[in-house]
Structure 1
Amino acid sequence: MSYKNFPMVSRVVFGRGCFNQLEDILAPKRINSKAPFIFFVDDVFKGNAWLTSRIPLSYDDKLVYVSTKEEPKTSQIDELVEDIILSYKDRPSGIIGIGGGSVLDIAKAVAIMLNNDGESKDYQGWDLVQNEAVYHVGIPTISGTGAEVSRTTILTGPERKLGINSDFTPFDQVILDPELTKDVPKDQWFYTGMDCYVHCIESLNGTYLNAFSQSYGEKALELCKEIFLEGDTSDEESQDKLMMASWHGGMSIAYSQVGVAHAMSYGLSYLLGIKHGIGNCIVFDHLEDYYPEGVAVFKQMKKKHNISLPQGICANLSDKEFDIMINVALSLEPLWENAIGKNWKKTITKETLKALYLKM
């Protein structure tokens, strides 16, 4: 029996205001004055001096604002990488992502592609990356995705939506400053927090479950229940807890897998461009047959926070469009195996998925 020898983030700093340590953390990693640090920053922070004035730019460092209206695409990664290669003689000293899951995934993917030939779509899948990434740092400004800790970077490619899952994907350094999440809009806070909640439910109810995943998943689930059933969304304690829930939720799937909601949410995202957090919520709302307890608690949380999810998003789709979504979902075989077991193909058919999508 061989066990997964998976990489973890080697350095992490946690605490309110620890973002101010960024300069001290990066300084020893600068290769020379010609090798820049490239900062990818969520464009919601454009004009937000409270955050941007603290980004330590010097020499040829560059700040790039990234729109997160759409999920990251392989073509977008290739353009960003080409731009860096054409703009600088030297490889960057490091890539820093400051934002939500999309921005963190972009930073991870760019760091990988700077040291690997070809196009990023060639690396969508498991363990296809040959060379280690450029030094890269993740700084989440919203909590829940687990992107700060995972070994994948989720990209929408020409053929499918699938991560670059590799040992070279995780960040070398993560800075967890809960203060950076203080201005997240309420619905966004809920959807991204539910991404974490769904990670826990899928991991803890999966066939891949083991004591390692379970210990992280149970802690994250406990924190999610405290935050979303008992806590006050705006208080500092909830911000701190959700940042740790996100970390633990990400760790819980590192050694296991996610399940039905994530597989089907990828289909929605690929065809309709629905963002990951809200996509998970739309799907999970209809998964009583797979996760009865988890869905019941989810509905309680939804009610407590007055969240109304979009309805009828699949009502007017053609058969061809359904097929595209269903094929994307079915291609995520490890997720189905974790959710249902080795014989998942006997029960998870195109008809099963179509009936579920029609409810959404």
Structure 2
Amino acid sequence: MVPRVIFGQGSFDQLGEILLPKRRNSDAPFIFLVDDFFENREFAQRIPLMFNDELIFVSAEEEPKTEQVDILVSRIKERYEEQPSGIVGIGGGTLLDLAKAVAILLNNNGLAQEYQGWDLVSKPSLYHVGIPTISGTGAEVSRTTVLLGPEKKLGINSDYTTYDQVVLDPDLTKTVPKEQWFYTGMDCFIHCIESLNGTYLNAFSESYGEKALELCKDVFLEDIPEDESRDKLMMASWHGGMSIAYSQVGIAHAMSYGLSYLLGIKHGIGNCLVFQHLDEFYPKGVELFQKMLEKHKIDLPKEVCAHLTQNDFDILVNVALGMEALWENALGKEWKKIMTPERLQAIYQKI
């Protein structure tokens, strides 16, 4: 679990105070990895840079890649003789996952792709802080950093991945465009549905999942003030991330990994594209999802898989079926008898 977290509107302004005791000396900088959306914006001026701290703007247009992590790590090692004091990730799931991965690789030898899997990290990460500027992914609380590698999309899942400190400031989400707000929020909603309906469910994950689901319903189905909505969605993201940390996600996420790997579709919208066709597995969840789509007038892309070749479908199916823990959570230990490659392809063909 994340050992330290602060929450509240305007809490970002405490960042300098938080980092100061963690600075080893003036030659050990903090490296800030920030969504390039904020480049040349007023927000960037609020980042508390000191000494030789470095601000690196990173595009979040594509899913985070293992190669991208390796390039950032090499850049930092070549530029600074002394190990940095820490890494600060500011942005959505892409930036938060990148920052976690960079912090791991700065203290562990090798390439990022070598750590894709469960508990492969042997040494603690460099001190790292996560600051989400959009709510829904749960990346700020997760022990996983999901990366697109040369052969697979899979997380670095370890006890050392989790952030040392998180700052939850709902005000930072004011600039999120509506569709992105919806798709990322649905990532959280789908986390909850898959966790609460999974075979891995336990009392710990259930308590967090139920609260996150309640908050998602308030945000996406009720008419509440914008500042209250931002607060609640940020808390829903946190609770949803906690829920899956102690259980697992399911079918939509497994299939979304395939869409990301082959077609480069962002995770949030990928989940939505899949989830609309999973009423056989999550009937109540899909019914709520359809109501949310209608309320917010969201039109999902159509015929995304209409022109794919059989080889393309084979890639989609193989990547998705490789997420064994997700399928077992969704369908039980005999999941391979239930979700055959042919059945899975048939669902992809509806998208």
- What TM-score results when the alignment is normalised by the length of structure 1? 0.97
Counterpart CA distance in 2 for 1:113 and 1:321 is 32
**Per-residue deviation, 1:48:** 1.1
Q: Which residue of 2 aligns with 1:124?
A: 116
| Unpaired runs of at least 5, structure 1 | 1-7
Paired-residue identity, %:
68
Q: Secondary structure at the match of 1:293?
A: helix
Query: Is 1:89 the equivalent of 2:100?
Result: no
Residue in structure 1 matching 2:140, options 148, 152, 157: 148
Q: Which residue of 1 aligns with 2:235?
A: 244
Query: Is 1:311 the equivalent of 2:302?
Result: yes
Let me know the Cα RMSD of the aligned residues: 0.6
Pairing of 1:299-338 with structure 2 (within 5 A): 299-338=290-329
Q: Which residue of 2 aligns with 1:22?
A: 15
- What TM-score results when the alignment is normalised by the length of structure 2? 0.99
Q: Secondary structure at the match of 2:55?
A: strand
Counterpart CA distance in 1 for 2:295 and 2:130 is 32
| Unpaired runs of at least 5, structure 2 | none
Give, as a single letter, the amino acid of the residue that structure 1 aligns with 2:119: D
Q: Which residue of 1 aligns with 2:205?
A: 213
**Per-residue deviation, 1:276:** 0.3
Q: Which residue of 2 aligns with 1:289?
A: 280
Deviations 1:307-339 (A, max 9, x none): 000111111111111111111100000000000
Give, as a single letter, the amino acid of the residue that structure 2 aligns with 1:209: L
Counterpart CA distance in 2 for 1:38 and 1:161 is 26
Q: Which residue of 2 aligns with 1:262?
A: 253
Q: Secondary structure at the match of 2:88?
A: strand
**Per-residue deviation, 1:59:** 1.0
Q: Which residue of 2 aligns with 1:57?
A: 49
Counterpart CA distance in 2 for 1:316 and 1:339 is 29
**Per-residue deviation, 1:231:** 2.9
List structure 1 segments (4+ residues) > 2 angstroms apart after TM superposition: none
Q: Which residue of 1 aligns with 2:194?
A: 202
Counterpart CA distance in 1 for 2:320 and 2:139 is 20
Counterpart CA distance in 2 for 1:35 and 1:321 is 47
Q: Which residue of 1 aligns with 2:269?
A: 278
Q: Secondary structure at the match of 2:349?
A: helix
Counterpart CA distance in 1 for 2:331 and 2:218 is 29
Q: Secondary structure at the match of 1:40?
A: strand
**Per-residue deviation, 1:292:** 0.4
Aligned residue pairs total 351
Pairing of 1:338-349 with structure 2 (within 5 A): 338-349=329-340
**Per-residue deviation, 1:246:** 0.3
